[in-house]
Structure 1
Amino acid sequence: MRALGVLDQLLQFQRGDLFPWVPVLFGTGIGIFFSLRFEPGVAHYATGAAIGMGGWMLLRRGDRQDGAVFLGWAVLVVVTGFTVAGLRAQSVAAPVLSFRSYGPVEGRVIAIDRSSRDRLRITLDQLRLGQIAPGKTPERVRLSLPEGAKVPEIGVRVMTTAHLMPPQGPVEPHGFDFRRHAWFQKLGAVGYTRVPVLTIRPTSRGLAVDQLRQRLSGAIRSRMPRATGGFAAAITTGDRSGIPQSALEALRASNLAHLLAISGLHMGLLASFVFGGLRLLLALAPPLALRCEAKKIAAVGALLAASAYLALSGAQVASTRAYVMVAMMLGAVLLDRRALSLRAVAMAAMIILTLRPESLLGPGFQMSFAATTALIAVFGGIQGGVAARGPRWMQIAVGVLLSSLVAGAATAPFAAAHFNLLSHYGLLANVLAVPVMGLVVVPAAVLALCLAPIGAAAPGLWVMDLGIRWILFIANWVASLDGAQGAVHMPSAGVLPLIAIGGLFLILWRGRLRWYGLPVLFVAGLLWQGAQRPPVLIAPNGGIVGVMTEDGRTLSRAKGHGYAAERWAENDGSLRSQAEAAALWPYLQRGSPTLASLPGKTMSLQVGSPARTLIHVINKTAAEALIRCAAEDVIVSAKPLSPKGDCLVFDADALRHLGSVQMQSDGRWVSAQDVIGDRLWSRSGP
């Protein structure tokens, strides 16, 4: 009871400012759901309901202390978040391919994108897969197309012959889990084809908006050079498939890749341009302006424009968040209320987390809301201060500089944790590029869209091209500067939650206690700095092994299995290529009796304490010849093995169940299966 009294006193200073904590508590419930190593059953949800009932009882207390009420709501919201995440995971359940296959694939094209290796990909639904029974056929598959393949139309039914495999687990136990990502997209298989994709049936109904997006994207790219046309299509329709890989790399290196995401910047600029333009047009007609509320008419028009833009963009997390913010802002204009506040951000977060709880784990959600929350808090705190003094051009310059600095600082930890890269000159690039985006590119895009129905979009596209050329010039120039990029190693599991808690407490809490968020951030930084990378990493299929040495991680292969090699290098905070890493591998075949008897290609070195000989059996000849091993051997192979001896074996059969494996600094071996546990998305496939 005394604790409730203390909490009650603390909450006296927070009256009217507690609503932004609702999505924080809701997200906590979602985070608990995804952190479990087992799939919750009826008993667990029943326990959650009982806990929620306990929270309801606290709400019904007769004395109505603020502390009791807050605890009651907190319990209810956390349990609700947990339950919503569970319902979402169950609602998207669909068959997942459990083995590799090769054969005919037939389906309807529903999405087109481009991989990180610049390969065109298509996503298919309404599938027919060779001899696979309909009840076991995945709902969707994604295929990489051969180089130079013709891009099919959205909605057409196609057929090809393809290699398919289940979505793969993380390339290291604590890494990004693509299987979980694919589960929530109902993606039951991925693969590639080396033959043409044939259209067997024309465009079907039901994908009108996606078809419009594709036609609009194609029209834009056909009238502009490849680089600028791909950029223009990305910010107009969300289609990034036309952007050259070199342009993407330059934008990422200069911290300008966020300009490609249809987010608050684009949605806000579009709504502001339409809102201001309509008010100006109404003001030019005094009889009309005097008889109606021009401001509210302009708000309705801007809301309609933003709604259309959301539909065209594909309603991704960032664009949905931006739309909710814009809709609330324009709704506030219609109701004569305050337009922008942390309450609006909280409402947007609740909507997205309710519809897509899994987005909490993605960089898009984290970076988008981190930037928006920090910007509103900072600009709200300095309202009427230095940024509002001096001539108008100076206010704009200070605003752009400050917003770039604040947004960059707020998103930097999340970007570094997910992508392991830091752009050292990102502030410079944003100061030079963002104003052009707002003053040239977005207004020109609106002009082109308005004139397109009458076939007069050329002037708008020409102006867009000039603005985008400038942005790409800045991106390439900044990316070419010495030391433009730095690499950071992957943080431990608890670092990002601590950063989020510290930052949110610093922004949302009222009173001197908010400064306790700084020690939390400091502790998170120390934990990140002290995080140790695994001495040994084994890929999920056993095709490549990485061992940490004094000179960095060395790899057992110079070619092949590039995805795992790239992710390991990123997580290590290394910019070394796969070939450079492989050159560090020392050969120790002479000192190992096991290796001395093996023909074919093998690799080995000493790992752990006490030292053990790690042997990577690379080809089939060596795998078939391995019949004996020593107790001090750790053997890795992409082929099945059955050696006699007490050695530790990670072969194809073992890794099919374990997934990727790492050796800890204390010598323990931990697999992806140990970390993930028994979840819906880990029950099918390797």
Structure 2
Amino acid sequence: MKLSLHSEWRIFYGAICFALGLALYYTLPFDLPVSIPAMVFVTMLAFQRPRYRKANPAYISVILFAAGILYACLRIEYADHHFIEETVYFSGEAIIEDIQERENAPVRLTLENLQSLSDETMKFNKVRLFVRTKIPEYLLAGDKIRFSAVLERPQGKLSPTGYDFARAAYFDGVQASGYVTTDIERAQFDNHNGASIGRVRQEIAEKLVRLIPGEAGGLAAALIVGRRSYLSDDAIDNLRASGLAHMLAISGLHMGLFVGAAFFMFEFVFLFVPIASPNINGRKLAAIFAWIAATGYLLLSGMSVATIRAFVIATIAIVAILLDRRVVSLRSIAIAAWAILIISPHAVMSAGFQMSFAATIALVCVYEIINERRRIKYEQDQPVFRTDQSFITRFGQNIGRFIGYTSLTTVIAQIAILPIALFHFQSVAVLGLFSNLVAVPVLLFIVVPFGFLSAVLGILGLEALSLPFFVWGLEQILDIAAFVADVEWSRVFMHPIHDYIFIMSLLVGCGLILIRHNRYVSSILFAMYLMMPLTFYIEPPSLIITQSGHGFVFQSKNGQFTYYNLRLNSFAADNYKKQWGLGPHVDTKRGQRSCDDYACSYDILGDRTAINVKHFAALYEACVAGDIVIILRKWVNYCRSNNLVIIKEQLATEGPLFIYENDNQNNLIWVNDKKNRRPWSGAE
């Protein structure tokens, strides 16, 4: 059976192989010497015989896979990043790079150029700190502050398949995280030392919040400058539950609407402004000015992966207009992927990169098929649209066509990101089709046009003419999200899925995109793409022990989520609930404990006891009575127990600990195992 492939499969296939090489190297538990992948890559290139007119695709794919491993190895080898080795107390000055404020949460500061006031050798390039103390009013990015803080290594993963915060911090150049211990003093206002863009973004966001009261102002800040910190937790959770969270990420939809609005505005202006040279095409000149506007929007948006991808595709579309070529194709998406992978190779591990490209690729390919069928009908003299109908009939058909295409776009995007959403978030928005069908037209026809018009009129001080319509559209989107989120089954939670199932699902999806004109093969691949992440999942642990040694999480025999010493609505608690396929609002139970100056005893799993020993005098009794005993390393030889003994020091550095019970045997999974000897893993 001969398979027909997409006409632009080569560049797309090459990007997939390169990305797989990057992903493999980032997931390895150890670093490779640069010489090994370099030797493999050079050897494979040497054996590629140039006398063949057509290169072997399988061989080329292996070469690109090896190139991805080599490139990731080189970027880590020559990266000037390192974490602090131990917890330190810092007192000094720093420049604010970014400020994030959230409702019912401490302020998070990203600081750069830290300099200790007492020790000139204590310097840090970049750290992230949580602030629960007093901060000055109107503190902005670029200001220099004076403070004291506790600095420690950035936290790693919370679960075996969870997001690796330490790896993300490493590639962001963050050397430490921690918390501020004193009130913050402003030492100097903005010194324009590299933080001007962040300051402009913050000033625009705060102006929007002051100008637009309530949650609508926070949504405006998220849509325009990519700052979500002004939205409440409830609003963000509603948007996620309703399948509208993509509106918070400045991606292809926002960039496309912005560039389109800028392009048509400049094209309209050039129609009435005479151009000096008759050889200058007003449409192409408008495309150039639209690209300049898109560049400014990219800088203001925070330059996330989705925004960069959308900007690269918009740039390719503008170049296509200048060269009179096809605007959007699979080739342009592949070029955008190559650009991001070269600039930020670690982005391949992020959910934003994966979901953004998965949805965009699926949409482009499906609409290519639709356009191809319409072209065939046109060539066969079968009119795609009838012209002998009344205005009302055509208008009704256009409305129906818009609803149909909006529904189709939503369904395609939801299906494309299904394995990625299950792997990273363990949840799917069931009513996403309905909410997008209602909210996307509001965004397209009200929020974006009147928002763009308000920005233009704001230069003349006339924004009051269009701002009420902009605010009304934002409020409608929030109301739609809240209405859908109130439905009990609006979001379904699943158990985590295995890494290899996730990778296989993505490869099946790539095959589904590349293979054309074979309904039998495409149907099989489509079924596999949907069923694999829904069928094969990781069994939940019997017990989770947090790094402190005093936090326990398990599901009781009656199915209730039970916990000790854990903030109920914290990010960690929500993450642990997902291990059992539970949502953040399920019924929970706080376990009963017994503590004194010598030890703490916890009732776990219905009929067992875990004891955290604090004093040597309680060691013997704990080792006899406890099913799980948590002690210091120096006491190990004094605890002759056949039960499970856990070392506090190991738990603090390699935890959390996931315990799986199989046939009365305990299988221990250390989430941040020091056997993973990577620069961000904390291995000595």
Please tell me the TM-score bracket, short chain as reference: 0.7 to 0.9
State which drifts further: 150-159 or 467-476: 150-159
Residue 16 of structure 2 corresponds to residue 24 of structure 1: yes
2:320 maps to: 332
Residue 161 of structure 2 corresponds to which residue in structure 1? 174
Partners in 1 of 2:114 and 2:578 — Cα distance?
36
Q: Distance in 2 between matches of 1:75 and 1:384?
A: 33
Contact preservation (8 Å) 1:123, 1:142:
yes
Matched, 1:47 2:36: yes
Is 1:521 matched up with 2:543? no
1:5 corresponding residue in structure 2? none
1:251 alignment partner in structure 2: 239
Cα offsets for 1:279-310 (capped at 9, x unmatched):
23333468889764222122112111111100
Change (3 A) 1:495 1:551: farther
User: Could you tell me whether the CA contact under 8 Å between 1:114 and 1:241 is conserved in 2?
Assistant: yes
- After superposition, the C-alpha distances for 1:486-545 in whole angstroms (9 at most, x for unaligned) are 2111111212211111111101234535555346426623653x4311222222332312
Matches within 5 A, 1:105-184: 105-114=92-101, 118-129=105-116, 134=121, 137-146=123-132, 149=135, 150-184=137-171
**Which of the numbers 614, 631, 651 marks the counterpart of 2:647?**
651
- Out of 250, 254, 257, the position equivalent to 1:262 is 250
Instruction: Decide whether the 8 Å contact of 1:663 with 1:670 is kept in 2.
Output: yes
How many angstroms does 1:14 deviate by?
Answer: 6.1
Counterpart of 2:216 in structure 1 is 228
Give the whole-Å Cα distance in 1 for the aligned partners of 2:140 and 2:633: 40
How far apart in 1 are the matches of 2:83 and 2:240?
33
Query: Would the aligned equivalents of 2:97 and 2:110 in 1 still touch at CA under 8 Å?
Result: yes
CA 1:209–1:403: 2 relative to 1, 3 Å: same
C-alpha change, 1:131 and 1:488, in structure 2 (3 Å) is: farther
Separation (CA, whole Å) in 2 of partners of 1:148 and 1:394: 55
SS at match of 1:440: helix
- CA–CA distance in 2 between the matches of 1:88 and 1:684? 19
TM-score, structure 2 as length reference: 0.87
Q: Deviation per CA, 1:598-637: give whole Å up to 9, x if none.
A: 9653113469xxx9x55142x846x762235149832236
Task: Report the residue type matching 1:410 in the other structure.
Answer: A
Worse overlay, 514-523 or 428-437: 514-523
Q: Does residue 477 of structure 1 match 2:483?
A: yes
Q: Confirm or deny: 8 A CA contact 1:539 1:564 kept in the other structure.
A: no
Task: Give me the whole-angstrom Cα distance separating, in 1, the residues matched to 2:609 and 2:80.
Answer: 40
The match for 2:29 among 27, 30, 37 is 37
Partner of 1:532: 539
What is the aligned partner in structure 2 of residue 396 from structure 1? 402
1:660 maps to which of 633, 656, 661: 656
Match of 1:592 in 2: none
Please give the alpha-carbon distance, in whole angstroms, between the structure 2 residues aligned to 1:566 and 1:15: 44
Residue 76 of structure 1 corresponds to 63
Structure 2 unaligned runs (5+)? 376-383, 386-393
Matches within 5 A, 1:309-320: 309-320=297-308
Equivalent-residue separation in structure 2 for 1:148 and 1:435 (angstroms): 43
Q: Is the 8 A contact 1:105 1:130 kept in 2?
A: yes
Q: Which amino acid aligns with 2:215?
A: A
Give the CA deviation at 1:207: 2.3
Deviation at 1:366, TM superposition (A): 0.9
Instruction: Output the amino acid matched with 1:650.
Output: I
More helix by percentage: 1
Alpha-carbon distance in structure 2 between the residues aligned to 1:360 and 1:201: 39
Q: Give the conservation status (yes or no) of the 8 Å contact 2:674–2:682.
A: no
Q: Distance in 2 between matches of 1:455 and 1:603?
A: 64
* SS of the residue 2:428 aligns to: strand
Q: Does 1:633 align with 2:620?
A: no
Which amino acid in the other structure matches residue 540 of structure 1? Q
Letter in 2 for 1:56: L
1:83-98 equivalence runs, <5 A: 83-98=70-85
* SS of equivalent residue, structure 1 residue 19: helix
CA drift of 1:160 comes to 1.9
State the 1:640 CA deviation. Answer: 7.9
Query: How far off is 1:260 after superposition?
Result: 1.2
Query: Deviation of residue 375 (structure 1)?
Result: 0.5
Partner SS state of residue 588, structure 2: helix
Q: Quick one: structure 1 residues 289 and 273, their matched pair in 2 at CA, closer, same or farther if it must change by over 3 Å? A: farther
Cα displacement (A) at 1:576:
6.1
Shift of 1:546: 2.1
2:379 is matched with none
Amino acid at match of 1:535: S
Matched to 2:168, the amino acid is H
Moved more, 119-128 or 336-345: 119-128
Q: 2:189, 2:483 → 1: CA distance? A: 45
Scaled by the length of structure 1, the TM-score of the pair is: 0.87
8 A contact 2:630–2:646 mirrored in 1:
yes
The AA in structure 1 aligned to 2:508 is G
Aligned-residue offset at 1:560:
4.1
Q: Does the CA-based 8 Å contact 1:558-1:578 persist in structure 2? A: no
**Does the 8 Å contact 1:121/1:144 carry over to 2?**
yes
Distance of 2:138 and 2:645 partners within structure 1: 45
For residues 533-586 of structure 1, give each alpha carbon's deviation from its aligned partner in whole angstroms, at most 9, with x where no partner exists.
122222233231223444336444154484433211023211366982435x7x
Measure how far apart 1:337 and its partner are.
Answer: 0.8
Distance 2:580 2:42 in 1: 46
Per the TM alignment, residue 377 of structure 1 is displaced from its structure 2 partner at its CA by 0.8
| Number of residue-to-residue matches in the alignment | 655
Any idea what the Cα deviations from partners look like across 1:229-264, whole Å, max 9, x if unmatched?
111111111122211222112111111111111100
Q: Deviations over 1:389-440 (max 9, x none)?
A: 5633332222212111111221233123212222221111111111111112
Q: Which runs of 5+ in 1 are unaligned?
A: 1-8, 590-594
Partner amino acid for 1:625? A
- Residue 147 of structure 1 deviates from its aligned partner by 7.5
1:503 aligned to 499, 503, 509, which one?
A: 509
Letter of the 1:30 counterpart: L
Deviation at 1:346?
Answer: 0.6
Q: Please state whether the residue corresponding to 2:468 is helix, strand or coil.
A: helix
Residue aligning to 1:63: 52
- Please give the residue correspondences for 1:285-684 in structure 2 after superposition, counting only pairs within 5 Å: 292-383=280-371, 391-510=397-516, 512=518, 514=522, 517-518=525-526, 520-521=528-529, 524-525=532-533, 527-528=535-536, 530-552=537-559, 554-557=561-564, 559-560=566-567, 562-575=570-583, 580-583=588-591, 601-605=600-604, 613-617=608-612, 620=614, 625-628=618-621, 629-630=623-624, 633-636=627-630, 642=636, 643-646=638-641, 647-666=643-662, 667-674=666-673, 677-683=676-682
Structure 1 residue 676, shift from structure 2 partner: 6.3
